[in-house]
């Protein structure tokens, strides 16, 4: 019990650092300084940096599961889901850092698993938001693109409602505007 | 003249490192080791790391100018534009690192400025590619989503023609199928 509690201090601190700076932010010296603990504890609990990263991924999975559980209780993408993302900012930013770790196959594979889980859970909300049927993959293929806009543009300072709202509104209105234009063109040809 | 030549050795080497690893990859010790030069040269030419980063940005702007002038000569998105991106692999990856450096105003603003320049040159080609000729501004709104998908997923390893090709083919297909579905709905509601 005591062991678990103490190792959790390291993983919590590591999780926060990783969410801010990615893998480069994780240095044993630095963690020890933040926690005011001896480095030997780190090696005792985790063996090495790789063992520590495994624990960080475990913690991430737990956090994602909590996120998805809360997601199931949600009715609308905007504003409910957007607020949910904001209230899980740390988990979201950890995920962003995983996505950026293309050079590390292990981390990147973990990010893909999380993406898939979230995509299953959000399917109905998203398709409802776009007003497309949720029984085909089309809406979710577009979701994957918008998710990448999120991954490219998000940071701790801009992870707020205005930013997320603008992002999804824009994604939706582009499709509406393009199809409006096509409807007009078709009508123009008809008459 | 001699000064410019010697300092450019430092910036060229740093440019490649930055493209691979971002700002975290830039350490004076490491650069000096790679170049087999004394660190004092670095401080002589650039003063400090900030001064050095200013020079890296200037170098990137020069390379971007050459990219833009090549861009003016191309006729189609696929394959011309995609091949251009592959030819400018290091520059594109450097640019991607700037996009990821949201904490650094100079980096992020420079990237945004260059992205805007590119947009003004690409509008007609992209509108043609999407099949919404004559409406480059609408087309470029969709382009900014597709570009963020690229920025989220690109790495030195996958920056090749087949990856870029499958990515934009998918993006185009999604847009067309989504707007087909909406168009159908709209025409149904008319009659």
Q: What is the CATH number of the domain that holds B127?
A: 1.10.357.10
Residue-level pLDDT at A135: 87
Closest in B100, B135, B181 to A100, CB measured? B100
* Chains A–B, number of C-beta pairs less than 8 Å apart: 88
Residue-level pLDDT at B180: 86
Domain that holds residue A10: 2-190
The token pair at A180 is 């409006």
CA distance linking residue A127 with residue A49, whole number of Å: 41
Find, in chain B, the residue whose alpha carbon is nearest to that of A101: B155
A103 with B148: Cβ contact below 8 A? no
Helices in B77-135 by DSSP H: which ranges?
82-87, 89-100, 105-130
Please state whether the peptide bond connecting residue A50 to the residue before it is cis, i.e. omega within 30 degrees of 0: no
Please name the residues between 121 and 150 in chain B that touch chain A, using a CB distance below 8 Å: 130, 132, 135, 138, 141-142, 145-146, 148-149
Q: Yes or no: say if A128 and A122 are a contact pair by the CB < 8 Å rule.
A: no
Residue-level pLDDT at A185: 75
CA distance linking residue B107 with residue B167, whole number of Å: 26
**CB under 8 Å to A47, separation ≥6 — which residues?**
none
Residue B1 has pLDDT above 50, yes or no: no
Phi, psi for A185 (deg, rounded to 5): -60, -45
The token pair at A87 is 């209230």
Overall average pLDDT of the B77-93 stretch: 98
Q: Yes or no: say if A174 and B141 are a contact pair by the CB < 8 Å rule.
A: yes
Closest in B132, B174, B180 to A145, CB measured? B174
B178 with A148: Cβ contact below 8 A? no
Tell me the nearest-neighbour CA distance from A190 into chain B, angstroms: 12
Closest in B24, B149, B175 to A148, CB measured? B149
B182 with A176: Cβ contact below 8 A? yes
Residues A34-72: b if buried by 16+ CB within 10 A, e if exposed: ebeeeeebbeebbeeeeebbebbbebbeebbeebbeebe
DSSP string, A74-114: ---IIIIIHHHHHHTHHHHHHHHHHHT-TT-HHHHHHHHHH
A148 with B152: Cβ contact below 8 A? yes
CATH label of the domain that carries residue A150: 1.10.357.10
pTM here?
0.92
pLDDT in tens, chain A (191 residues): 455 568 999 999 999 999 999 998 999 999 999 999 999 999 999 999 999 999 999 999 999 999 999 999 999 999 999 999 999 999 999 999 999 988 889 999 999 999 999 999 999 999 999 999 888 899 999 999 999 999 999 999 999 999 999 999 999 999 999 888 877 777 776 65
Tell me the nearest-neighbour CA distance from A58 into chain B, angstroms: 23
Residue-level pLDDT at A5: 63
Q: How many domains does chain B have?
A: 1
CA distance linking residue A189 with residue A183, whole number of Å: 10
- Residues of chain B with Cβ-Cβ distance to A133 below 8 Å are 181
ipTM of the complex: 0.91
The token pair at B74 is 């191309």
Residue B5 has pLDDT above 80, yes or no: no
Q: Yes or no: say if A58 and A131 are a contact pair by the CB < 8 Å rule.
A: no
Residue-level pLDDT at A15: 98
B178 with A132: Cβ contact below 8 A? yes
Q: Is B181 in CB contact (< 8 Å) with chain A? A: yes
What are the pLDDT digits (tens) for B108-167?
A: 999 999 999 999 999 999 999 999 888 899 999 999 999 999 999 999 999 999 999 999
> What is the crossing angle of helices A39-46 and A2-21, to 10°?
100
Residue-level pLDDT at A110: 96
Length of chain A: 191
Residue B2 has pLDDT above 60, yes or no: no
Domain that holds residue B49: 2-190
Residue-level pLDDT at A180: 83
Q: How many domains does chain A have?
A: 1
| Distance in angstroms between the alpha carbons of the first and the last residue of chain B | 75
């Amino acid at each position: 019990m005591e062991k678990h509690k103490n190792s959790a201090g390291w993983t919590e601190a590591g999780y926060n650092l990783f969410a801010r700076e990615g893998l480069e932010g994780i240095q044993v010296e630095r963690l020890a300084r933040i926690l005011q603990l001896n480095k030997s504890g780190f090696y005792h609990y985790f063996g090495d940096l790789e063992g520590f990263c495994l624990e960080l991924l475990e913690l991430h999975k737990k956090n994602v599961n909590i996120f998805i559980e809360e997601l199931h209780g949600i009715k609308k993408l905007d504003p409910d889901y957007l607020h949910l993302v904001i209230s899980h900012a740390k988990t979201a930013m950890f995920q962003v850092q995983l996505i950026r770790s293309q050079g590390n196959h292990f981390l990147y594979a973990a990010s893909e698993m999380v993406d898939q889980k979230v995509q299953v859970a959000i399917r109905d909300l998203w398709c409802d938001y776009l007003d497309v049927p949720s029984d085909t993959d089309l809406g979710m293929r577009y979701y994957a693109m918008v998710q990448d806009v999120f991954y490219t543009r998000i940071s701790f300072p801009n992870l707020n409602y205005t930013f997320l709202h603008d992002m999804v509104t824009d994604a939706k209105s582009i499709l509406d505007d393009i199809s409006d234009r096509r409807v007009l063109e078709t009508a123009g040809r008809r008459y | 003249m001699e000064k410019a030549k010697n300092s450019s050795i430092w910036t060229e080497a740093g440019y490649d490192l930055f493209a691979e690893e971002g700002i975290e990859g830039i350490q004076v010790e490491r650069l000096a080791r790679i170049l087999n030069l004394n660190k004092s040269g670095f401080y002589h030419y650039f003063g400090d790391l900030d001064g050095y980063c200013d020079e890296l940005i200037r170098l990137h702007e020069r390379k971007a100018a050459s990219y833009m002038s090549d861009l003016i000569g191309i006729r189609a998105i696929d394959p011309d534009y995609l091949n251009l991106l592959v030819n400018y692999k290091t520059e594109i990856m450097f640019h991607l690192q700037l996009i990821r450096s949201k904490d650094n105003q100079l980096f992020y603003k420079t990237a945004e400025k260059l992205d805007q320049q590119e947009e003004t040159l690409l509008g007609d080609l992209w509108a043609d590619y999407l099949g919404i000729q004559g409406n480059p501004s609408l087309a470029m709104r969709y382009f900014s989503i597709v570009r963020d998908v690229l920025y989220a997923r690109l790495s030195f390893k996958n920056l090749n023609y087949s990856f870029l090709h499958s990515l934009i083919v998918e993006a185009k297909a999604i847009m067309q199928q989504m707007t087909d579905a909406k168009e159908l709905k709209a025409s149904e509601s008319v009659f």
